[in-house]
């Protein structure tokens, strides 16, 4: 388990982190979200001792030291490969620092190249690979030593849908392996799809922390999706309905101010007859993100 307690960090007079505390558990994926400048990368850099911060950070109940780095895999937001090296040389450079021998590296690398469908060979120069395949090589550098703690800063940035889906499966496999995984992303769809837990930071403070499903439901089942012959104007006039729109699927989306009114709305739009769709849900993570961070 990764545990952070009362983390503070300032750059000059600017306070970036203001008492950040949260936990990330083994065998689970924790999403760290927030607007640009909220402090996400500073949290990552504090975990890795790239910057000095006040507070307490432990992994497996121990402080993170140079020895701990062998158990950590970090994918930075700013990708940093050396273009003149071959794929093997690049991976070896970093994997040797994690304690792997050249023999182990070559054996694991070939498997990873196949697993990530890299269009290139271990002896190809980094600069000869496409941007997408270079990102895959960087991911191999992050995961080849089977880290117990995996930190991914914007891992899907620049990837097409096919490679994004491939990376998602890799992340889920690492979760099954039992790693502590924490990643940041601006696409709430990715966060909602992959993460078990969520930490949202706004202006250097934690504003949401917990199980994603529980967080969403704490905002109430205030969204209703319905396919009905009842006209839009009539839906707008129903008690407790504050907004009505039409989805791309042709359903009505109702925003209500009291989840308990769902039953009465159901009775009204169905009239005791069959309707193809009636689904009452909490706000999406994207809506919650805008609600908690949009006013800053």
CATH number for 289: 3.30.70
Please report the pLDDT score of residue 255 as a whole number.
96
62, 202: one domain:
yes
21, 160: one domain:
yes
204, 252: one domain:
no
Please check whether residue 7 is in contact with residue 57, taking contact to mean a CB–CB distance below 8 angstroms.
yes
**Chain segment 111-133, per-residue pLDDT in tens:** 999 999 999 899 999 999 988 89
**Residue after which a domain boundary falls, among 177, 211, 245:** 211
Please report the pLDDT score of residue 149 as a whole number.
97
**Residue after which a domain boundary falls, among 179, 211, 243:** 211
152, 53: one domain:
yes
197, 223: one domain:
no
Share the mean pLDDT of the chain. 93
192, 246: one domain:
no
Q: What is the CATH number of the domain that holds 193?
A: 3.40.50.300
Please report the pLDDT score of residue 295 as a whole number.
52
Count how many Cα atoms sit within 13 Å of the Cα of residue 114 in the half-sphere of its side chain.
5
DSSP assignment of 20-59 equals EEEEE-TTEEEEEE--TTSSHHHHHHHHTTSS--EEEEEE
**Residue after which a domain boundary falls, among 159, 190, 211:** 211
**Chain segment 176-216, per-residue pLDDT in tens:** 999 999 999 999 999 999 999 999 999 899 999 999 999 99
pTM: 0.88
6, 92: one domain:
yes
Total domains present in the chain: 2
CA distance 171 to 289: 23
**Residue range(s) defining the domain that contains residue 233:** 219-293
Please report the pLDDT score of residue 158 as a whole number.
80
125, 205: one domain:
yes
């Amino acid at each position: 388990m990764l545990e952070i307690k009362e983390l503070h960090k300032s750059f000059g007079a600017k306070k970036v982190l203001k008492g950040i505390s949260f936990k990330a558990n083994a065998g689970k994926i924790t999403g760290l979200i927030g607007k640009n400048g909220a402090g996400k990368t500073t949290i990552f850099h504090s975990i890795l001792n790239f910057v000095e911060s006040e507070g307490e950070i432990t992994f497996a109940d121990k402080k993170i030291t140079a020895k701990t780095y062998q158990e950590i895999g970090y994918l930075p937001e700013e990708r940093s490969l050396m273009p003149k090296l071959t794929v093997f040389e690049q991976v070896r450079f970093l994997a040797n620092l994690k304690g792997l021998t050249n023999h182990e590296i070559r054996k694991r690398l070939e498997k990873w190249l196949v697993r990530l469908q890299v269009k290139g060979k271990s002896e190809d120069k980094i600069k000869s690979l496409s941007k997408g395949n270079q990102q895959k090589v960087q991911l191999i550098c992050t995961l080849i030593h089977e880290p117990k703690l995996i930190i991914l800063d914007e891992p899907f940035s620049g990837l097409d849908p096919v490679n994004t889906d491939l990376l998602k499966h890799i992340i889920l496999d690492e979760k099954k392996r039992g790693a502590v995984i924490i990643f940041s992303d601006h696409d709430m769809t990715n966060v909602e799809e992959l993460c078990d837990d969520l930490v949202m930071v706004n202006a250097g403070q934690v504003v949401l922390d917990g199980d994603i499903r529980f967080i969403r439901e704490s905002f109430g089942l205030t969204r209703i999706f319905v396919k009905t012959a009842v006209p839009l104007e009539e839906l707008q006039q129903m008690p407790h309905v504050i907004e009505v729109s039409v989805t791309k699927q042709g359903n009505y989306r109702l925003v209500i101010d009291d989840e308990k009114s769902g039953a009465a709305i159901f009775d009204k739009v169905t009239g005791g007859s069959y309707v193809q769709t009636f689904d009452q849900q909490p706000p999406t993570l994207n809506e919650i993100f805008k609600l908690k961070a949009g006013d800053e």
